[in-house]
């Protein structure tokens, strides 16, 4: 069997990854280049939401057309992730990153200059594709450049970027609209990426390391097609949710699941023949923590991503807030995430999955407490009284994202880092698509039944908490399983070490 067919999680992965490792003296400066680029791509998922009414008015677009400015970006973003990660592993992560970043800058300028809604949507689709090609290179470059405790710190910074970008989108968009007033002010939401992106490209060319040659340049083209069709089928009803996509196109969920099943069968056959799969199925069965981490992330993003659209709708339409004031109302969550994520990166080696469990509990307390205050207090004071509670939720969120990313990817061989990071983020994008379709949909459903805005926002927040609770249950299960395994290892180390099930988990 070729080297490509050896199990990715067999004995001693960390030792093999550290063999011959020499720290790059430029690694921390290179990290900040990737973080700035990653922040731009993730921010663009939510920053546009506050500008949709202005875009719709200025470009004379229908509600269905303007929704594609958000959903089209999310769709192509998710479609590219795994394939882009595999290409980075096979070719050169630095090359893929710089090409994708250059494309992102170019298409951001095209979005800002779009004369009509059709060209804006086309530019957003291309912008999302470029973002999807860039995203998995971020996590893969971290694995390539860092080892041990430094990797935890680096993923802590990366996790803070993931959390802050989603929560800060409404505030950033509102601030840009407030500063760039006028009929074309929304264009600066896209133009702001250009100077930052150009600087990141120039610094990236100088600082980012090349991927060591692996001789594994094959790419499973049929696998790319199967995965793309499967993900597209799952996401299409979600991005069409506002026009009845979920009820009219529900059968695509079944078709997508069937196609993804065929994709898994093909990947397993490739592995059995000693070939190079697009996404090695053994990542989910032999690499410690990968399957659970992917599940925790997907469930968390179902609740996390949709909440910010619900808050924007509630504050702007229900309470008459400006986009900037609406963004300020949710800023405590972003601040809490920023503070906690960096600290969490330094604690993950000591506390492991327990950080995720505690973080999810904090998010549930923060969002649940916010829902309770919005329900009980007068609406003119409730958003500001809820700010400290929302900050607690943000601190919890900081202890979810970065530790989960670290524990999910830490035992993945560096040669597979791009594909593994792409698959992890694909799950997160699918979860985000579900959340951004389901929670605002539930919010509007409550209003259509004659309920007031208070009832609508509380109902949507309770639905988000269900997704958080499911993520907490999975994380708790994994934490307790690891604790039992460690206890068994201390009591009878020789017997446990020879247990193949335990060897896969620890």
Domain that holds residue 134: 25-219+278-505
Tokens of 402: 């970065």
In sequence order, what DSSP letters do the residues of 394-410 get, joined into one string?
A: HHHHHHHHHHHHHHHHT
Look at the chain and report how many structural domains it folds into.
2
Contacts of 81 (CB under 8 A, 6+ apart): 132, 135, 136, 422, 423, 425, 426, 429
Q: What is the largest CA-CA distance in the chain?
A: 72
Q: d(Cα 157, Cα 195) in Å, to the nearest integer?
A: 23
Does 15 reside within a domain? no
172 and 249, same domain (yes or no):
no
272 and 395, same domain (yes or no):
no
Judge contact between 456 and 317, C-beta under 8 A. Answer: no
269 and 310, same domain (yes or no):
no
Tokens of 468: 């958080």
336 and 240, same domain (yes or no):
no
Does 4 reside within a domain? no
Query: Which of 255, 277, 299 is where one domain is finished?
Result: 277
Q: d(Cα 238, Cα 231) in Å, to the nearest integer?
A: 11
Residue 359: pLDDT band with limits 50, 70, 90 = very high
Tokens of 151: 């990797």
Does 250 reside within a domain? yes
DSSP state of 462: H
Judge contact between 230 and 263, C-beta under 8 A. Answer: yes
CATH of residue 437: 1.20.1250.20
Tokens of 67: 């929704």
Q: d(Cα 151, Cα 485) in Å, to the nearest integer?
A: 24
Q: d(Cα 368, Cα 360) in Å, to the nearest integer?
A: 12
272 and 151, same domain (yes or no):
no
Angle between helices 117-145 and 63-90 (to 10 degrees): 30
Q: d(Cα 317, Cα 235) in Å, to the nearest integer?
A: 27
Least confident of 38-42, 158-162, 334-338: 158-162
482 and 356, same domain (yes or no):
yes
pLDDT at position 458 is: 92
Q: CA–CA distance from 362 to each of 369, 396, 399, 502 (Å)? A: 10, 4, 9, 31
Q: d(Cα 17, Cα 413) in Å, to the nearest integer?
A: 7
What length does the chain have?
506
Q: Closest by alpha carbon to 312, among 303, 304, 302, 323?
A: 323
Least confident of 13-27, 35-49, 70-84, 420-434: 13-27
272 and 285, same domain (yes or no):
no
Residue 108: pLDDT band with limits 50, 70, 90 = very high
Does 10 reside within a domain? no
3-class DSSP state for residue 270? helix
138 and 271, same domain (yes or no):
no
In sequence order, what DSSP letters do the residues of 90-115 get, joined into one string?
A: HS-HHHHHHHHHHHHHHHHHHHHH-S
The mean pLDDT of 474-479, rounded to a whole number, is 90
291 and 265, same domain (yes or no):
no
Does 6 reside within a domain? no
Does 165 reside within a domain? yes
Does 9 reside within a domain? no
Instruction: Output the average pLDDT for the chain.
Output: 81
Of the segments 4-13, 132-141, 152-161, 481-490, which one has the largest average pLDDT value? 132-141
121 and 250, same domain (yes or no):
no
Judge contact between 217 and 91, C-beta under 8 A. Answer: yes
Query: Which of 277, 303, 318 is where one domain is finished?
Result: 277
Q: CA–CA distance from 180 to each of 171, 466, 499 (Å)? A: 14, 39, 63
Contacts of 220 (CB under 8 A, 6+ apart): 86, 266, 267, 270, 275, 276, 277, 278
Contacts of 449 (CB under 8 A, 6+ apart): none
Which pLDDT tens digit goes with each residue over 217-271? 567 788 888 888 888 888 788 777 666 667 777 888 899 889 989 988 988 888 8
343 and 476, same domain (yes or no):
yes
pLDDT at position 16 is: 47
Helices of type H across 20-90: 27-46, 52-58, 63-90
3-class DSSP state for residue 498? coil
Q: In angstroms, how far is the first alpha carbon of the chain from the final one?
A: 25
Judge contact between 136 and 84, C-beta under 8 A. Answer: yes
Dihedral, CA atoms, 122, 123, 126, 132, nearest 10 degrees?
Answer: -120
Model confidence at 100: pLDDT above 60: yes
Does 8 reside within a domain? no
256 and 290, same domain (yes or no):
no
Query: Which of 257, 277, 297 is where one domain is finished?
Result: 277
């Amino acid at each position: 069997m070729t080297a490509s067919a050896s199990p990715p999680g067999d004995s001693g992965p960390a030792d093999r990854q550290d063999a011959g490792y020499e720290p790059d003296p430029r690694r921390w400066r290179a990290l900040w280049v990737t973080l700035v680029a990653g922040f731009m791509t993730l921010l663009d998922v939510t920053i546009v939401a506050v500008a949709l009414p202005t875009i719709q008015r200025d470009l004379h677009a229908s509600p269905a057309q303007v929704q594609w400015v958000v959903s089209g970006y999310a769709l192509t973003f998710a479609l590219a992730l795994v394939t882009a990660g595999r290409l980075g592993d096979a070719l050169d992560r630095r090359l893929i990153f710089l090409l994708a970043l250059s494309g992102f800058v170019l298409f951001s300028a095209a979005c800002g200059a779009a004369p009509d809604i059709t060209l804006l949507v086309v530019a957003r689709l291309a912008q999302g594709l470029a973002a999807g090609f860039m995203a998995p290179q971020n996590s893969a470059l971290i694995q390539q450049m860092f080892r041990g405790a430094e990797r935890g710190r680096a993923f802590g910074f990366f996790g803070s970027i993931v959390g802050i970008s989603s929560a800060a989108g409404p505030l950033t968009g509102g601030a840009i609209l407030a500063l760039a007033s006028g009929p074309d002010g929304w264009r600066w939401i896209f133009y702001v990426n250009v100077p930052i992106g150009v600087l990141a490209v120039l610094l990236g060319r100088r600082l980012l390391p090349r991927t060591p040659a692996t001789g594994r340049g094959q790419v499973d083209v049929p696998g790319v097609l199967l995965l793309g069709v499967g993900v597209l089928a799952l996401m299409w009803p979600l991005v069409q949710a506002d026009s009845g996509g979920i009820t009219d196109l529900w059968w695509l969920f079944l078709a997508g699941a069937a196609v993804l099943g065929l994709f898994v069968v093909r990947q397993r056959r490739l592995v059995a023949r000693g070939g190079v799969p697009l996404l090695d199925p053994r990542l989910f069965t032999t690499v410690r923590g990968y399957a659970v981490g992917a599940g925790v992330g997907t469930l968390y993003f179902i609740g996390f991503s949709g909440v910010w659209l619900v808050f924007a709708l509630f504050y702007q339409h229900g309470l008459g807030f400006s986009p900037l004031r609406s963004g300020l109302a949710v800023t405590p969550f972003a601040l809490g995430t920023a503070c906690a994520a960096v600290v969490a990166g330094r604690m993950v080696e000591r506390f492991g999955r327990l950080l995720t469990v505690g973080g999810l509990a904090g998010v549930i307390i923060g969002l649940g407490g916010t829902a309770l205050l919005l329900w009980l207090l007068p609406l003119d004071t409730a958003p500001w009284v809820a700010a400290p509670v929302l900050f607690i939720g943000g601190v919890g969120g900081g202890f979810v994202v970065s530790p989960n990313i670290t524990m999910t990817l830490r035992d993945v061989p560096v040669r597979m880092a791009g594909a593994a990071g792409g698959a992890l983020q694909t799950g997160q994008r699918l979860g985000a698509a579900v959340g951004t379709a389901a929670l605002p949909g539930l919010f509007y459903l409550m209003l259509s039944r004659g309920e007031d805005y208070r009832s609508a926002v509380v109902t949507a927040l309770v639905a988000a908490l269900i997704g958080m609770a499911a993520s907490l249950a999975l994380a708790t299960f994994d934490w307790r399983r690891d604790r039992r395994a460690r206890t068994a290892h201390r009591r009878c180390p020789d017997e446990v070490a020879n247990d193949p099930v335990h060897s896969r988990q620890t």
